[in-house]
Amino acid sequence: MALPRYLSKDHCQFLADMRKADRKIFHHEGLNFWKGPAVNIENLTELVDLCYETKVRVTYDHSRNGYTVHPEAHGEFTNGK
Is the pLDDT assigned to residue 13 strictly greater than 80? yes
Cα 69 from Cα 35, distance rounded (Å): 12
**Secondary structure (3-state) at 31:** helix
Count the domains in the chain.
1
Higher pLDDT, 73 or 57: 57
Q: Summarize pLDDT for 16-61 with one digit per residue, the tens.
A: 999 999 999 999 987 778 899 999 999 989 999 999 999 999 999 9
Is the pLDDT assigned to residue 81 strictly greater than 50? no
Query: Does 1 map to a domain?
Result: no
Predicted pLDDT of residue 2: 85
For the whole prediction, is pTM greater than 0.95?
A: no
* Residue in 52, 57, 59 with CA at minimum distance from that of residue 9: 57
Query: Does 62 map to a domain?
Result: yes
Predicted pLDDT of residue 74: 83
Find the domain containing 15 and state its range: 7-78
Query: Does 2 map to a domain?
Result: no
Rg (CA), the chain: 12
